[in-house]
A and B are shown apart, each in its own frame.
Chain A
Amino acid sequence: MAVKPKLTYFNCRGSGEPIRYLLAYGNTEYEDVRFEDEEFPKLKPNFPYGQVPVLEINGKMIPQTLAICRYLAKRNGLYGSDDFEAMQIDAVADAIVDLRNAFTFCYWITPEDQRPAHEEKLKKQTLPFYLSRFEKSLQENNGYFVNGKLSYADIFFAGQVQHFSDNTKYDITDGYPQLKALVEKVENIPQIKAWIEKRPKTDF
């Protein structure tokens, strides 16, 4: 009998939440393993590249958020109808990760005393750069990122956005009605709504 897949990540939403959204979307039963920050150093050596999230299927561990998302997307019809469309969807997800990397650099890597300058740049340049382009894609694609239909890029954004807002301490979709509508649309997908209602409540 097949063992349930196991997702291992910190006890927060962060980079794990898009994966949890996709697992919920596919009605996939899984073990949602969480650990606290302090436990990470001793768990690190267990992971293929010392990082999380990691998805374990039948004893095999795979790291890397996007790789996992893409695998789940394929299994749930969220990856476009051909290679070119798949590339366009991947491109959006990669751009969201570029934005997330800017957040990680500003809020989680830069020492607190050097943060103000980076935060200013993030809020005044980086965020508007990305959000205005995401907004435009949605406007041109009937409310979804690619070709007018739901793909893993839409779910990825919705799963990631709260983490951004937690860091900036304001809703980053304010002023971007299409993005707001997309997040609401994804969060109201019944399986995802059910997950949001029952998930552990965490600060990030």
Chain B
Amino acid sequence: MAPKYKVTYFDIMALAEPIRYLLSYGGIEFEDVRVKGDDWPKLKNGTPFGKMPVLEVDGKKAHQSIAIARYLGKQVGLAGADDWQNLKIDATVDTVVDLRIAVVNAVFADEATKAQKKETLEKDTLPFYLGRLDNQIKENGGYLVDKKLTWADLHLAATVDSVNGALKTNIAANYSNVGSLTEKVWNLPKIKEWRAKRPSASM
């Protein structure tokens, strides 16, 4: 019998969205639990590390969104073919995470530094990352790694989805290769279906 999957996170895209994308892509039914901010403190102790997202597979709990994404990437056939390819996928995903962290640090900065951080984000950080990612996609036939769809591509598309919400913009607007890849992922039938039926979230 197929394992039962449950994803527990806040009612936003953010860290859980790559996980939800991967499960959807694989046609894997999952319980999509969304926790309200006020309810979170009392649930903490039931989690492996006091944080979310948490993936539960037949009652076994795992934490850390990227570790989970890597695991699901393997389950749904989107992992690399060998160690070196997986290394390239990991390196790319970690880089996109660096970008996401920079966005979060700017969006949630305290009032004193927010304006300056947002300016640095827009003028330096985003162009730095998006420019290189755009180039990488161009050099890889429209995908992030080795000219084929991997979980890195789904992770990027889910991150763009969330960051666009957080910044209220389309960060891929001036990066045509990033934009095309994101659209390509969003148009995969199972991802399209997920994005149409999921609860709406601000970021």
The stretch among B22-30, B32-40, B83-91, B161-169 that forms the contact with chain A is B83-91
Cα separation A84 to B60 with both chains bound (whole Å): 9
Query: Are A88's CB and B62's CB within 8 A?
Result: yes
A4 within 8 A of B: no
Q: Find residues 75-112 in chain B having any chain A CB closer than 8 Å to their own CB.
A: 75, 83-84, 86-88, 90-91, 93-95, 98, 101, 105
Mark the stretch among A16-24, A70-78, A187-195 that contacts chain B: A70-78
Cα A52 to Cα B86 in complex, Å, equals: 19
Stretch with Cβ within 8 A of A (4 or more), from B5-13, B63-71, B176-184: B63-71
User: Within the complex, which residue of A51, A65, A75 is in contact with B83, where a contact is CB–CB below 8 Å?
Assistant: A75
Contacts of A133 in B (CB 8 A): 49-50
Question: How near does chain B come to A100, taking the closest CB pair, in angstroms?
Answer: 12
A101 touches B87 (CB 8 A): no
**Contact partners of B105 in chain A: CB under 8 A:** 105
Q: Mark B144-173, 1 if CB is under 8 A from A, else 0.
A: 000000000000000000000000000000
B-chain residues with CB within 8 Å of residue A101 when the two chains form the complex: 101
| Segment touching B, from A28-36, A90-98, A166-174 | A90-98
Residues of B within 8 A of A84 (CB): 57, 60, 62, 71
> Which residues on A sit within 8 Å (CB–CB) of B90?
64, 66-67, 70-71
Give the dominant DSSP class at B's interface: helix
| Interfacial residues of chain A within 127-144, with CB under 8 A of chain B in the complex | 129, 133
Q: Are A90 and B75 in contact (CB under 8 A)?
A: no
CB-CB under 8 A from A94, the residues of chain B are 64, 66-67
Looking at the complex, which one of A71, A88, A95, A129 makes contact with B84 (CB distance below 8 Å)? A71
A71 touches B49 (CB 8 A): no
User: Is A64 in contact with B94, judged by CB distance below 8 angstroms?
Assistant: yes
Instruction: Annotate A57-89 by CB proximity to B: 1 below 8 A, 0 otherwise.
Output: 100001111111011001100000001101110
Tell me the complex Cα distance, A2–B164, Å: 45
B74 lies within 8 A of chain A by Cβ: yes
Q: Does A48 contact B (CB under 8 A)?
A: yes
Interface residues of A in 33-51 (CB under 8 A from B): 48-51
User: How distant is the Cα of A62 from the Cα of B91 in the complex, in angstroms?
Assistant: 7
Q: Which residues of B contact A (CB under 8 A)?
A: 48-50, 57, 60, 62-64, 66-68, 70-71, 74-75, 83-84, 86-88, 90-91, 93-95, 98, 101, 105, 128-129, 132
A residues at B contact (CB < 8 Å): 48-51, 57, 62-68, 70-71, 74-75, 83-84, 86-88, 90-91, 93-95, 101, 105, 129, 133
Q: Which 9 A-B pairs have the closest CB atoms?
A: A67-B90, A90-B67, A91-B64, A64-B94, A87-B71, A67-B91, A94-B64, A64-B91, A91-B67
9 pairs, A vs B, C-beta closer than 8 Å:
A57-B84, A63-B94, A64-B91, A67-B90, A67-B93, A83-B74, A84-B62, A91-B62, A93-B67
